[in-house]
Structure 1
Amino acid sequence: MALYPSLQGRRILITGGGRGFGREMALAFARQGALLLLTAARNGDELGQTVADANAIAPGCCIGELADVALEADCTRIASVARSRLGGIDILFNNAARSPAEAMTRFDRAAPTPFWEADAAGYERLIVTNIVGPFLMAQRLAPAMVQQGFGRIINMLTSGPTMTVSGRGPYGASKAALEASTAIWARDLAGSGVTVNGLLPGGASDTALIPGDNIGQRAVPGFRAGKNSGGGSEGTLAGLLPADIIVPPALWLAADESAAWTGRRFVAKDWDDALGWESAAAQSVTEMVDVPRIL
């Protein structure tokens, strides 16, 4: 795994940091010497375990807070905690998201739930968490980033095919909106020293977002990012990607080396860490268009 000296002491907020991609990133950033604030909306035990594991790597590097990014008051509180405990935030990973399973009555490829059978309350909850949540968190942190002349906002996106797949209800629509927001925020922040980029795994991944047993043991055996499939094949892999696939591009996006890249979209499964970051970034980047090309 690449080492980035600029991550030493960097202050990082990861929403949804207790499990899945959030946990993988938290442990990786702890190894890089970063300071971490993790949030989770529901499972305090998972959050506490990830915080403990990060602090076992680098004592005192990580704190955790239960908070729901869908609630404006919680986002305001987290920004306040960041200022009081860390002195602010340099990098925001908008990782927290709700699964389509929370809105759809069946999570079954063979018999997907049509949108008219969706749970309306679950549908609304997902939309607010996946779209409004990232906005609220970025709104509260971006002004200080602009003032200090440095910042990174990384929004967790999804593959193009996922945006329109039958039976997934509001999930794809929410991620399409977040992709558009990524492009807009990057333009709003142009020239400020704050970059905004999107990061996606490149396919369904072995996290709790995908219902089922044996989470963490369901990935395609021996999958190697950047080697098993070429660019342009996002969302088409048969089977699940390993959750730690997100780590190499996440480290780079938070580091100084990514300063020239903003308003872009990076596919983790196409990132080959062995190539060095220049070639890995070029291999994994896809264009962020004015209107996300989802149809």
Structure 2
Amino acid sequence: MNESTLQGKKALITGASSGLGFAMAKALAQAGASVAITARKSDKLDKALAQLKEQQLDAYALEMDVRDEHSIEKAVQWVRQQWGKLDLLVNNAGIGMRTVNPDFLTKPQPFYQVSAAGFRDLIDTNLTGYFLVAKAFVPLFLEQGKGKIVNISMNHETMKRKGFVPYGPSRAGTDSLSHIMAEDLKEYHVDVNMLLPGGATETGMIPEQAKEEIKSRFRLLDPDVMATPIIFLASDESSGITGERITATTFDSWRSSLATKK
């Protein structure tokens, strides 16, 4: 796909000031889309926007808290007023296990030691946040008669891994939410798919002090692994594909198998 693949497309990505979100925003913008990146912290958001602007990409930054309906509604109004439409919504904003256990990779903590406040905070961000953002933007898709939603998820193995409450349950919920959203929106020509990297990625969710040890045991994926699949999911070529769970590391084989089904 070349630089003009997504010309005229408008995309909004949550949690896009770093990591997977930023990588997807960069890929979409380089493919010709206009991209709005959102995050809670304005300093990180400003730096991310500056990086995109340095490449002369059509990018915008919106402060948005996915746990706050008022904050989300302000982003919806911005999209309506500035763009008048939205082609792709990427639900990516999330917080990781380090918020409840900084040593989660080396010293797993059983679920009964997780604080109630820590559990609620992560679920509110990672799962309820996806619901609230999608709920707010779907009316625009229904008015348009089309649209695409991509919910970022993770490996099934991580959903069952020792010491991974509440992150595992939050992403298991993401999968269920996505499947139901796909069914609810199918008749309205709004596609909903899940996208996951396919392994641990080098993002802020992995504590700095643990990175070297993790690298000695595992191959950390570059966030750019999400580039090719997110461009495809934003393109007209993917229209009508819905309810799929796509792994970035095996995207090429998934796409080939899809072609043989037609």
* TM-score of the two chains, using structure 2 as the length reference: 0.91
CA distance in 2 between counterparts of 1:218 and 1:40 reads: 29
Match of 1:175 in 2: 171
Output the CA distance in 2 between the equivalents of 1:282 and 1:75: 37
Give the drift of 1:214.
9.7
* Separation of aligned partners in 1, 2:213 and 2:84: 39
Q: How far 1:37 moved relative to its partner?
A: 1.1
Question: Structure 1 residues 218 and 257, CA, compared in 2 at 3 Å: closer, same or farther?
Answer: farther
- Give 2:135's aligned residue: 139
Equivalent pair of 2:149/2:192 in contact (CA under 8 Å) = yes
Q: Is the 8 A contact 1:149 1:193 kept in 2?
A: yes
Q: Which amino acid aligns with 1:240?
A: L
Q: Specify every segment of 5 or more residues in structure 2 that has no aligned partner in the other structure, as ranges.
A: none
Superposition TM-score, scaled by structure 1 size: 0.81
Corresponding residue pairs, total: 259
Note if 1:68 corresponds to 2:65. yes
Partner of 1:41: 40
Correspondence for 1:198: 194
Quickly say closer, same or farther: Cα 1:218–1:240, change in 2 above 3 A.
Answer: farther
Aligned residue in 2 for 1:51: 49
- Distance in 2, matches of 1:219 and 1:115, equals 23
**Aligned partners of 2:82, 2:134: CA distance in 1, in Å?**
18
CA distance in structure 2 between the partners assigned to 1:179 and 1:282 by the alignment: 23
> Structure 1 regions of 5+ residues with no counterpart?
222-236, 273-278, 286-295
Specify the alignment match of 1:23 in structure 2: 22
CA distance in 2, matches of 1:260, 1:179: 19
The match for 2:7 is 8
Task: Look up the match of 1:289.
Answer: none
Query: How large is the Cα RMSD of the aligned pairs?
Result: 2.4
Q: Which residue number corresponds to residue 247 of structure 2?
A: 267
Question: In structure 2, do the counterparts of structure 1 residues 35 and 55 end up closer, same or farther at CA, with 3 Å as the change threshold?
Answer: same
Measured in 2, the distance between the counterparts of 1:147 and 1:251 equals 24
Q: Is the 8 A contact 2:17 2:39 kept in 1?
A: yes
What residue is the counterpart of 1:226 in the other structure?
Answer: none
The structure with the greater share of residues assigned to helix is 2
Distance, in Å, in 1 between the alignment partners of 2:125 and 2:225 is: 24
Q: What residue number does 2:236 align with? A: 256
Cα pair distance change 1:107/1:97, threshold 3 Å: same
In structure 2, what is the equivalent of residue 107 of structure 1? 104
Q: Which amino acid aligns with 1:50?
A: A
Residue 101 of structure 1, CA deviation: 1.2
Displacement of 1:49: 1.7
CA distance in 2, matches of 1:14, 1:283: 28
Amino acid of the residue matched to residue 102 of structure 1?
T
RCO (CA 8 Å, sep 6+): is it higher in 1 or 2?
2
